[in-house]
């Protein structure tokens, strides 16, 4: 049974009680779901997890569904936590780990966010769901909407990936291609008027609750001792905010201590850059929005949660960094050879950042460092980019075969 009590505005502090609560605050800022954690603490403990479902719904008392047994679930969560011993040794890192979210349904951690958001949309009797997106969220929403029996509309932002278009369509979603900056015009008002729920990042509070389960799971898999540093994709700030919310709740529940990891947010860019967090900005700099999304599949639409993401980075003494696309491609390729893991571009970017983060002093070689791989490598564009630079013809005895060096 959920211990959800109310929704709270992240900017003006207004509170709203369900079931009449809006999905975002009239002031324009995102809402966060709040729970009666004292009640949860009394009625729920870590030992219960031994008998809990092997999905993210094992944390149901701190998720928003009134009837968690009716959750729209495809088996999301409990993804592998893997030691990257060889990769770590090469970098001189003693305790490097990878949380492989590619093992979720639809190949990314957006399965968590959509399982929660679509379950809640169904519970609230929404007529349909919609999203403007460029990658993993679009596919996950399409799949979970199908599982829920809800009509889904996907607005893929140009330039559209053919593979993504086909996969969303296969789940029965109605898919349109729209110009990059048209999100508010095409999704916002018409969607609300038709009773269709907009599941864009921070447009409603429940996707974040699904992302939060990643933080609970990291704590559980590390036996309730949080890592020193977490390097994760920026992804609209949802990963940062979700992880931090989990760690705060775990502290209140008494399940993990008050020590928090430093969070480093990573995305692709034209060159290496570091923005140190300060208040709701990176020292006056905007959150880095990279121009190279055509090559990477990184999210490109602006986020309603940007201030919240900066605030989270500030609290964690963290930073946002950009990694050059060619370094991401090289890391993706090398990691596949060294560890047998072909990561998505966002996860590869996080690993590609490690060396420079060490040089910047944002990491220490003896720390426990966790990298989040947000999803699978569904596009070959980065590998093609790497291959264009590296592929050489080998001996004609091999009949014209070409192979990466």
Task: State the residues that interact with Zn ion by CB under 5 A.
Answer: 9, 11-12, 14, 25, 27, 29
Select 12 or 391, whichever has its Cβ closest to Zn ion. 12
DSSP symbol at 187: I
Strand ranges, E, within 66-151:
81-83, 95-100, 128-133
Sign of the alpha-carbon dihedral angle for 44, 49, 50, 51: positive
CB atoms within 10 A of CB 338: 13
Q: Greatest CA separation found in the chain?
A: 73
Select 137 or 305, whichever has its Cβ closest to Zn ion. 305
Select 26 or 291, whichever has its Cβ closest to Zn ion. 26
Give least dist CB 11 to Zn ion, A: 5
What is the four-CA torsion angle of 180, 109, 97, 79, rounded to 10 degrees?
A: -160
Select 63 or 208, whichever has its Cβ closest to Zn ion. 208
Q: Where are the alpha helices (DSSP H) in 124-200?
A: 136-148, 162-170, 183, 189-193
Give least dist CB 184 to Zn ion, A: 18
Report, in angstroms and rounded to the nearest whole number, the Rg of the chain calculated over CA atoms.
Answer: 21
Query: Token match 């602006």: residue?
Result: 302
Give least dist CB 66 to Zn ion, A: 25
Distance in angstroms (rounded) separating the CA atoms of residues 225 and 135: 32
Select 29 or 60, whichever has its Cβ closest to Zn ion. 29
Give least dist CB 202 to Zn ion, A: 12
Distance in angstroms (rounded) separating the CA atoms of residues 150 and 117: 12
Give least dist CB 40 to Zn ion, A: 25
Of 148, 145, 175, which is closest to residue 160 (Cα–Cα)?
Answer: 175
Select 28 or 159, whichever has its Cβ closest to Zn ion. 28
Select 151 or 188, whichever has its Cβ closest to Zn ion. 188
Give least dist CB 205 to Zn ion, A: 12
Give least dist CB 133 to Zn ion, A: 25
- Sequence-ordered list of residues with C-beta below 8 angstroms from that of 276, at least 6 positions apart, any chain: 282, 283, 319
């Amino acid at each position: 049974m959920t211990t959800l009590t109310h929704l709270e505005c992240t900017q003006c502090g207004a509170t709203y009680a369900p079931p009449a609560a809006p999905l975002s605050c009239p002031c324009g800022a995102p809402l966060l779901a709040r729970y009666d954690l004292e009640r949860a603490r009394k009625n729920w403990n870590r030992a219960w997890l031994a008998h809990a479902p092997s999905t993210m719904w094992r944390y149901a008392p701190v998720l928003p569904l009134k009837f968690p047994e009716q959750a729209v679930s495809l088996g999301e969560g409990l993804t592998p936590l893997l030691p990257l011993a060889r990769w770590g040794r090469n970098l001189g890192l003693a305790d490097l780990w990878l949380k492989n979210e590619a093992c979720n349904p639809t190949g990314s951690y957006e399965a968590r966010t959509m399982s929660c958001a679509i379950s809640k949309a169904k519970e609230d009797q929404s007529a349909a769901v919609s999203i403007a997106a460029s990658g993993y969220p679009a596919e996950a929403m399409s799949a979970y909407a199908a599982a829920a029996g809800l009509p889904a509309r996907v607005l893929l932002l140009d330039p559209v990936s053919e593979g993504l278009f086909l996969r969303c369509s296969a789940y029965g979603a109605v898919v349109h291609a729209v110009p990059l900056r048209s999100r508010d015009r095409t999704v916002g008002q018409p969607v609300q008027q038709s009773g269709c729920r907009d599941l864009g990042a921070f447009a409603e509070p429940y996707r974040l609750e699904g992302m939060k389960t990643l933080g609970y799971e990291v704590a559980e898999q590390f036996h309730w001792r949080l890592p020193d540093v977490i390097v994760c994709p920026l992804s609209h700030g949802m990963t940062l905010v979700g992880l931090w919310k989990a760690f705060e709740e775990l502290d209140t529940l008494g399940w993990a201590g008050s020590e928090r990891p430093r969070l480093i947010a990573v995305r692709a860019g034209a060159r290496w850059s570091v923005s140190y967090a300060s208040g709701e900005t990176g020292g006056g700099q905007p959150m880095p929005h990279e121009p190279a999304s055509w090559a990477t599949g990184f999210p490109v639409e602006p986020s309603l949660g940007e201030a919240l993401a900066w605030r989270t980075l500030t609290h964690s003494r963290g930073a946002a960094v950009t990694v050059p696309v060619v370094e991401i491609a090289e890391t993706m390729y090398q990691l596949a050879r060294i560890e047998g893991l072909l990561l998505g571009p966002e996860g590869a970017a996080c690993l590609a950042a490690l060396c420079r983060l060490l040089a910047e002093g944002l990491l220490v070689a003896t720390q426990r460092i966790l990298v989040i791989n947000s999803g699978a490598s569904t596009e070959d564009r980065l590998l093609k980019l790497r291959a264009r630079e590296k592929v050489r013809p080998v001996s004609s005895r091999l009949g014209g075969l070409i192979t990466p060096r």
